[in-house]
Structure 1
Amino acid sequence: MLSPDHAYSRSARPETTPLWQRPLTRAIQTGLFLTLGMAGYSAMAQDSTAPSADASPAAAPSRVAAAPAGKAASKTLDSVVVTGSLIRRVDAETANPVTVVDSQQIAASGKPTVGDLLQRLPGVAGNATNPGIDNGGGTGASTVSLRGLGDNRTLVLVNGHRVAYSDVNSIPSNMIERIEVLTDGAASVYGSDAIGGVVNFILKDHYNGVQFSADYGMSQHSDGNRRNFSFLAGHSTKRASLMLAVTRQSQNGISATARPYSRYALALENGVPTRLGSSATPSGLIENAAGQYVTLNSGVSGATSLSDYHTYSGAQDSYNYQPYNLINTPQERTNVSLVGSFKFNRHVEGYLDFFYTKTSSASIIAPVPIFANGDDFMVSKDSYYNPFGVNFGTDRSTGNSYNDFNTRLTSLGNRDFASQTYNMQVTTGLRGDFGVGNWQWNADVNYAKVRQKTESNGFLDYPKLEQALGPSFLSSSGVVTCGTAANPISNCTPINIFNVNDPNTVAALKKLIVNPVTEYSYTMKQYEASANGDLFQLPAGSVSLAVGMSYRQESQSDTTDTPGAVAISSGDYAGLCNVVEDCGSVLSGGYNVKEVYGETLIPILADLPGAQALNIDLGSRWSDYSTSGHTVNSKVALEWRPVGDLLVRGTASQVFRAPNISELYAGFAGGAYSATDICDGYTGGHPQACENVPTNGSFQQNNAQIGVKSSGSVAAGYNLKPEHGHSYDLGLVYDPHWVHGLSLSADLWRINLKDTIVDGLDPTTIMDECYYSSKLCSLIKRSGNGQINYINLPTVNLGETWASGIDSTIQYVFAPTHWGQFTASINGTYLSRYDVDTAPGDSSVATTHCAGSYCPSYGEFPHWRGLGTLSWNRGNWNATWTMRYIGRTRIGNSDPAADYSADENINGVVRKIGAYVYNNVSAGYTFSKLHTTVSAGIDNLANKQPPMFYQWGSNSNTDAYTYDQIGRYFWARVAVSL
């Protein structure tokens, strides 16, 4: 394994072929060079009269009907920069497939935050975080995973500027004018991370008045109550604009026991749903000297002999941890935002965007479990309270593993976590025009600071616990004492861990409780300057150019007061923490990136038969990362209007993503995953994966959860490389003049990605890689009896990913009638392919095909997803009906070698999940004289419960990333404008 120093090598390259030798890059660079070569002469040759009003830097952006691209538009139209391009233009429909969610849609959804609203879009799939993720959504955050490629491959912007914290819930909804969602790779435009697409929040830039709003929501079960209060005030003049927004939100948590589908942890065994709990039980799971697993008899206090124990039965003796899990994270959020601008003169304007969000959230999990082997500590055979006469656990001094011993300290109560996240971002700059032609410029500074503090309650000081479980003896004074008669240990109380409910044991354990605090801090500083305008005229229109440069610094630090926490310096991965749940480390690091970019729009034909407009868009970006070297990524896009009603568009882009700050410098964190040991029933043939496992087929995993230790690549000593690939899009937009109000679009897309960065590998993937290809085996740590102690989960490069599909949109604005104005729209995505090959070229490792399936490592990928909306307005009345469609999917693989079965006990079982439709309705009325609007709605109108995924789902037995877990939900809102 490489040392951490290798992660800073500037010689690392995303591909072996130099980028400047690739045909696509070379062609685009040539086009840009020729364009830039004429820029100086052409700019000077422009008419030096003052720019028109529509070119003013203070002009409010607007979306307008499409005009033939490249042709001069009416001066009443505002030229804007649409997400996916750097070129300022009047065309609403370009080569970029962009979905727009406007402020009216946000208001009609009734959502106080936009996370849930965005995650309903058909282009979103996979494992994007949301507050419904148990043991994962504890910060209250929501992220977006376009194309199912992960939220780290979806770039989030506010007014075109990169945000530091990808929690879209932290962006105040009352400040949003619209959300533009680009479903195409855009590395040449925005740099790293824009592989699956871009989510750009466009904020209101002018507002006069004051608005107060309040809403309240509650589920049908009278839980999950939410409250939201917001205030917006603004004042605009010809020279200045200032807006202030304050929001306060809160939502109650919901326990997993509050819904019947999540009340117990369930597995499908021999076709029958079976309660499945943890082997860390209050009565213990103990491997005796004969290798048999036993547990304490019910009602026994103070066990003294082997007769106090009986053979362990998973169905009867396992521990149900569900009462401590949540299907909705309790949270409180306060946001203060300030947006303003000021014109110094007709050519220069200053602007400021400021956001501050504080999010408080909490979560609970079951009382502390003890896995002596998995937690790397030992219960001595010479303990006075050990009736078995054998060692349990792992002796770290020798590396020897002994018999298994699991228990759960229910007498200490549950563990809980309290998180505080502080997110501050300020973007300030100057923008204006050169006074020559229509050239504009911008220079800004983007600074962000994120701090997250988490206090964990109900944990133990494990070094002291291990001492109390070591050798002990009965002294001459009749007191049980730590150590041996020859070497007694002072300030130590021996603990009878074999009976955790004994009052003396409880008292001794309470003295060892610790409440560790971990802190995460992230800082981003970015400096950027850009310019755009028209270079010269061609017969078909103006050649436009946008150029810029930026410098960005990012740094991160992890600190903790966890007992025995370590500072990462050697890259040593094993034995750094005493137990996985109490794992902590101190680590910091950072990097910088320098970038130069350009884009040009060249009109080729216009106003000709079969070519109302034909344009080529070329873009390229050079990036130099201090951690991974430099790269050039380019795009070429084509826009063709054979007739005025039809736009044919296509884009080919190189995409690129450098390892982000967390993937590089995240410290160690512990946890547990529900996973099946690949060596269950092992009969030989794969010794590298099944070390110490008997080969007679008798081996069975004794715990449904596997302990893990995760970290970034630097802590693990892994040399993480950038990932790179290509994105293609080919589509059409049809607005027939003979059907007024109808708009149709369809886009075929494909993404190929190599050297995929996998952040947070799951145990199943690591076991499969080791079993079938002998890779990553060093990450699996087994005890002497074959049971898994824990699995290391570093961030690594692992193989290739392919995804492809079709996006389509139908929108129809009905002609106004006596009954009001109706608008209908349907957005749909058909996913034809989502393949992951973790070992390219190795036929022994099968490619994972996720399209139409639930893949445990990557999430759910039904072939079809859709979102339909019907809205109505009549006078002061309005109403909206939204239908969300999630297509059929399946769990399991019919190939027994895939080791992925819907049934816990039968290989090759595939279980089908039917399609789901969720219906949300809302209605509102505006009291004009009172300047008040009252709205109400119902989410999940039919109260549909999520499908059962059993052992393959989250702890709530379903896919919490995809389906609604709360059930029918009522909400109401009042807004007053002054």
Structure 2
Amino acid sequence: MADQAVAAAADAPASPAEVSDAEIIVTGSRIASTGFTAPTPTTVIGEELIEARGITNVIDAINEVPAFRPSQTPAAAARGGTSSGGSFVDLRGLSAVGGAPTARTLVLVDGRRFVPSNQIGQVDLNLIPTSLIRRTEVVTGGASAAWGSDAVAGVVNLLLKDKLEGFEGSIAYGQSDESDYKEYSLSLAAGTGFAGGRGHIIAGIDYVDNKGVPDAFNSRDWGREAYGNLALSARPAGTPSRNILPDVRISDRMAPGGVIVGGPLDNIEFLPDGITRTFTPGTLVGGNQMLGGGANNSNDGIYFAAGSNLVNPIERYAAFARLTYEAFDGVEFFVEGSRAESKFSGYSASHRDDANLTIRVDNAFLPESVRTQMQTLGLQSITVGRIAYDDNFGFYKLKTDQEVDRIALGAKGKLSERWSWDAYYQWGRSNYVQRNEGTDMSNYRAAIDAVFDGTGNTVCRSGATGSPDAGCVPFNIFGQNSPSDQAVDYVRKIMINDVTTKQQVAAVNVAGDAFDLWAGPVSVAFGAEYREEKVHSTVDADSQARRFDYGNYQAISGKYDTKELYFETVVPLARDAAFAKSLELNGAIRLTDYSTSGTVTTWKIGASYEPFSDLRFRATQSRDIRAPNLNELFAGAVVGRGLVVDPVLGTSYQVNSIVSGNLDLDPERADTFTGGVIYQPEWLPGFRASVDYYNIKIKDVITQLTAQNIVDQCEDGDLDLCALIIRNTGGTITEVRGQSLNFNSLKTEGVDVELSYALPEDTLIPGSITLRALGTYVDRLVLTGVTGPIDRVRQLVPKWTWNASINYSNGRFGAMAQLRYLGSTLFDSTLVGPDDPDYDPASSDSINLNRRSPVAYLNLSAQYDIVQDGDRSLQLFGVVNNVFDKDPPPMGGYNPVGGVLYDLIGRAYRVGLRFKF
């Protein structure tokens, strides 16, 4: 990635993404340098860019850097998981590939680790005050030797303001063109010196309240098209195996009031008050979805994501304070504390009985017309499918509350004119509480098996299909809105997952010039670090007993610690010589001892060569690691649920997938190469261009086989994996068991490009104009596992991603136009579409529409200084995102890949005021 940092090497004025520090420590190295001369590709996002874009969360600015893949953000329709509503960084898409999401990008705050927001090691950027960030540095190459574990893809370092005089803040309001996605934000910050300038205090708080977006079917034109993904096991000739089509609904395996599936009474649909009608299957039926169909279009609008929010509401605040004091000449002490809270609420999917309810002929709620037909045919039972779209038994409510507390204290000073030191201790705690509604399946099975007691009363059958207690309330499944409130209260309960992660870090660092060579001083940095991570959770008793239809959180408890030593150096070999304006080597080594997996060594070696002042080359080779996180090590057996294609039975259905932790895991090992060239010609002042190549190869990738992987590999003859599949007496899979393992490899390579040009003042029009373009080309993103190598380029990330902008300023007025381009993407890299030369509709890997066209989004922003009077200012700003209201491409429902790559909100506005005095 090209540098966007210090303007010292250029005569042009700094762009909004630049900073003005003449000499700073950048995250690419612990040794003093400028971002433009950093040995590892480094990008800097300044607070000016955040302000110009009207951004209330730094994650939105980071995700606009093409090398990042947006992962789990509130706008990506996060509905569940380890940290619902969280905002996490994912450099190069490496955190999303290889199984469950994890942290392969290290997040630092002021060069120090930040307490993880969950047990998988991710840091939620919702919980860091954006208004206090003075710049964000992104290292797009392996940096484990300098900074430690998790820096496989790179490092994101958030540097907070350390000196602030006076009071400043902003207030803003935003909403979408559809009058939703309403967001209110307020930020305040203040600072002052004391004790004759020896001390300084700074404090700030951010508050954001986003009201979310209803489900796409009811709020967006593209959502009302109801695109779905039909996977067909039996299909007409010429029809591919998978089909991305509009008007995809819940199939005849489920209906809002119940439908009979199979047998002589197939497709009888139940309505309230004992009324029935015929349910017509769609023209194509695959699993539990179909194209069109339904009695009298009764299933219009009934598709899997209907009712669950497109964006769930989130309310958050983040507060921070720091006190520094120079107690002795050259020795400064500091203490800082922060507290943040994020509240997230909304709806997830509803309860589904996917053709799996057995209803007996003597059921008390069974319509008499159906009972009579059953008796005539001699049927003792029928199979019914039902999806819960009742007013009182509809979509599951979910709510999360996350709190993060952090305290750090330390000191820094000088040992001499050439040597400096710093030391600190940090404690952090994150408490994440998730409360989700779910259906108690033991109570549910008992409640729906209702019979007459002989006196005219309806009761739960004793001991037949469940274990009803004295409080069992009969549940009427026949007809939408037929269940009583009392019955719903009996079967619906709250799952509680209360997880606390804690972190302690102590470190000491020394940096300086060891001695002088002919080309300059040899700079070194070395230090030691101790870190302890622990997790403990409590869950409700019903989840522990696995009584719910999904989720069933399991308790986790465990800890590990690390002891680390590192050394880094920069050795100048030439300066102003005939063959080189400059030539220097840089290297680093880190020795880390994990209490769980033993000792590992990481290293980096690189070189920077400037043959003349216009041109510079740089290259690094490094060994990086990611240690197994708390969840991968200590997780109890967690139950998920998903669709599996069963090759034995020749059909697809929902199964439980049970995954647990593994204490025998080893760290992932990555070999990373970066090499690039920076061109800044003297003949064109203000112009800079750079190209950086990267190649990352990760071995022993920690991942989990999906239930489908295990089933497929069993079918291919892997008997060890067959033992993980549990089938009932009828041959149907009831659950698939697995755990995290070191068995995959991951490779990615590509090129990062940056072009920037600051035109001379008043060249075209009065004022200054700066042009800038960042681009990333991903040549491959290959995961090799039990199914062989699969290239996920264009599925997880496009081949090309660009972010181009033009900035204009003239006195009190400034404006910015930004164009974001996403190249074509694929629905699934393992499938073959009609535009592929190997396409064969009869093949099991065929799909009717696999390629999405490129998309470009235009964003505009402007600001005007109403008041400009010394230290006092008042600025009005406005932003329009997705100016042309570009819809996302067809995604096959809420496809998670499309949901993070593309804008689901549509045209949106933000206006506000910034003030300072």
* TM-score between both structures, scaled by the size of structure 1: 0.79
Q: Is the 8 A contact 1:583 1:668 kept in 2?
A: no
Q: 2:622 aligns with which of 653, 656, 670?
A: 653
Shift of 1:362: 0.7
Matched, 1:243 2:182: no
SS at match of 1:188: helix
Report the CA distance shift for 1:481/1:541 in structure 2 as closer, same or farther (over 3 A): closer
Q: Is 580-589 or 516-525 further displaced after alignment?
A: 580-589
Shift of 1:769: 4.2
Matched, 1:976 2:912: no
Q: Is the 8 A contact 1:340 1:353 kept in 2?
A: yes
Partner of 1:836: 783
SS at match of 1:327: coil
SS at match of 1:918: strand
What letter matches 1:299 in structure 2?
Answer: L
Partner of 2:426: 446
Q: Is 146-155 or 235-244 further displaced after alignment?
A: 235-244
Shift of 1:192: 0.9
Partner of 2:766: 819
For residues 223-372 of structure 1, the aligned pairs below 5 Å read 223-236=180-193, 238-255=197-214, 256=216, 257-263=218-224, 265-267=226-228, 270=239, 272-277=245-250, 279-287=253-261, 290=263, 294-299=266-271, 301-302=273-274, 314=290, 315-317=292-294, 319-371=302-354
Report the CA distance shift for 1:118/1:561 in structure 2 as closer, same or farther (over 3 A): same
Matched, 1:156 2:139: no
What letter matches 1:700 in structure 2?
Answer: T
Partner of 1:520: 499
Report the CA distance shift for 1:767/1:263 in structure 2 as closer, same or farther (over 3 A): farther
List per-residue Cα deviations over 1:208-257 (Å, max 9, x = no partner). Answer: 11013101111111111111111110113631221110121111111122
For residues 700-715 of structure 1, the aligned pairs below 5 Å read 700-701=651-652, 706-709=654-657, 711-714=659-662
Partner of 2:169: 212
Q: Is the 8 A contact 1:380 1:471 kept in 2?
A: no
For residues 97-136 of structure 1, the aligned pairs below 5 Å read 97-125=41-69, 127-136=71-80
For residues 756-835 of structure 1, the aligned pairs below 5 Å read 756-758=701-703, 762-772=706-716, 774=718, 776-785=721-730, 787-792=732-737, 794-817=739-762, 819-835=766-782
What letter matches 2:790 in structure 1?
Answer: T
Inter-partner Cα distance in structure 1 for 2:595 and 2:384: 46
Shift of 1:798: 3.7
Report the CA distance shift for 1:324/1:476 in structure 2 as closer, same or farther (over 3 A): closer
What letter matches 1:297 in structure 2?
Answer: E
List per-residue Cα deviations over 1:335-362 (Å, max 9, x = no partner). Answer: 1111231111113111233221111111
Matched, 1:188 2:188: no
Inter-partner Cα distance in structure 2 for 1:961 and 1:282: 30
For residues 429-828 of structure 1, the aligned pairs below 5 Å read 429-434=410-415, 436-457=416-437, 459-469=438-448, 474-475=453-454, 480=459, 482-483=461-462, 491-493=470-472, 495=474, 498-499=477-478, 501=480, 507-563=486-542, 565-566=543-544, 577-673=546-642, 675=643, 677-679=644-646, 690-691=647-648, 693=649, 699-701=650-652, 706-709=654-657, 711-714=659-662, 719-758=664-703, 762-772=706-716, 774=718, 776-785=721-730, 787-792=732-737, 794-817=739-762, 819-828=766-775
SS at match of 1:82: coil
Partner of 1:30: none
Shift of 1:294: 3.3
Q: 2:868 aligns with which of 914, 928, 937?
A: 928
List per-residue Cα deviations over 1:321-346 (Å, max 9, x = no partner). Answer: 43312222211111111123111111
Inter-partner Cα distance in structure 2 for 1:253 and 1:502: 27
Partner of 1:918: 857
Report the CA distance shift for 1:922/1:901 in structure 2 as closer, same or farther (over 3 A): farther
Q: Root-mean-square deviation (CA), in Å?
A: 3.4
Shift of 1:414: 2.5
SS at match of 2:37: coil
Q: Is 635-644 or 350-359 further displaced after alignment?
A: 350-359
Q: Is 162-171 or 945-954 further displaced after alignment?
A: 945-954
Inter-partner Cα distance in structure 2 for 1:971 and 1:358: 24
SS at match of 1:928: strand
SS at match of 1:329: coil
Matched, 1:882 2:882: no
Matched residues, percent identical?
25
SS at match of 1:816: coil
Partner of 2:17: none
List per-residue Cα deviations over 1:275-334 (Å, max 9, x = no partner). Answer: 13364433335455x4x783543436348xxx9876766443464243312222211111
Inter-partner Cα distance in structure 2 for 1:644 and 1:477: 96
Partner of 2:98: none
What letter matches 2:814 in structure 1?
Answer: N
Matched, 1:850 2:797: no
SS at match of 1:964: coil
What letter matches 1:294 in structure 2?
Answer: D
What letter matches 2:684 in structure 1?
Answer: V
Shift of 1:452: 1.1
SS at match of 2:906: coil
Shift of 1:544: 1.3
Inter-partner Cα distance in structure 1 for 2:219 and 2:280: 33
- Structure 1: gaps of 5 or more residues: 1-61, 68-75, 393-401, 567-575, 680-689, 694-698, 840-844, 855-859
Q: Is 657-666 or 293-302 further displaced after alignment?
A: 293-302
Inter-partner Cα distance in structure 1 for 2:580 and 2:567: 27
Partner of 1:10: none
Report the CA distance shift for 1:894/1:325 in structure 2 as closer, same or farther (over 3 A): closer
Partner of 2:8: 65
Inter-partner Cα distance in structure 2 for 1:976 and 1:78: 27
Q: 2:891 aligns with which of 949, 954, 968?
A: 949
SS at match of 1:343: strand
Shift of 1:890: 2.7
Shift of 1:700: 3.3
Report the CA distance shift for 1:782/1:909 in structure 2 as closer, same or farther (over 3 A): farther
- Structure 2: gaps of 5 or more residues: 11-19, 96-101, 118-122, 231-238, 283-289
Inter-partner Cα distance in structure 2 for 1:951 and 1:504: 29
Shift of 1:367: 3.2
Q: Is the 8 A contact 2:515 2:522 kept in 1?
A: yes
Q: Is the 8 A contact 1:598 1:620 kept in 2?
A: yes
Partner of 1:24: none
Q: Is the 8 A contact 1:64 1:90 kept in 2?
A: no
Inter-partner Cα distance in structure 1 for 2:753 and 2:495: 50
Q: Is the 8 A contact 2:258 2:270 kept in 1?
A: no
Shift of 1:764: 4.6
Q: Is the 8 A contact 2:675 2:692 kept in 1?
A: yes
Shift of 1:777: 4.3
For residues 862-873 of structure 1, the aligned pairs below 5 Å read 862-873=798-809
Inter-partner Cα distance in structure 1 for 2:604 and 2:889: 42
Report the CA distance shift for 1:114/1:538 in structure 2 as closer, same or farther (over 3 A): same
What letter matches 1:158 in structure 2?
Answer: V
Partner of 2:403: 422
Number of residue pairs the alignment of both structures matches = 840
Partner of 1:71: none
Partner of 2:130: 173
SS at match of 2:306: helix
Q: Is the 8 A contact 2:359 2:384 kept in 1?
A: no
Report the CA distance shift for 1:902/1:725 in structure 2 as closer, same or farther (over 3 A): farther
List per-residue Cα deviations over 1:380-418 (Å, max 9, x = no partner). Answer: 7886667679899xxxxxxxxx97755536242321111
Report the CA distance shift for 1:347/1:671 in structure 2 as closer, same or farther (over 3 A): same
Report the CA distance shift for 1:353/1:885 in structure 2 as closer, same or farther (over 3 A): farther
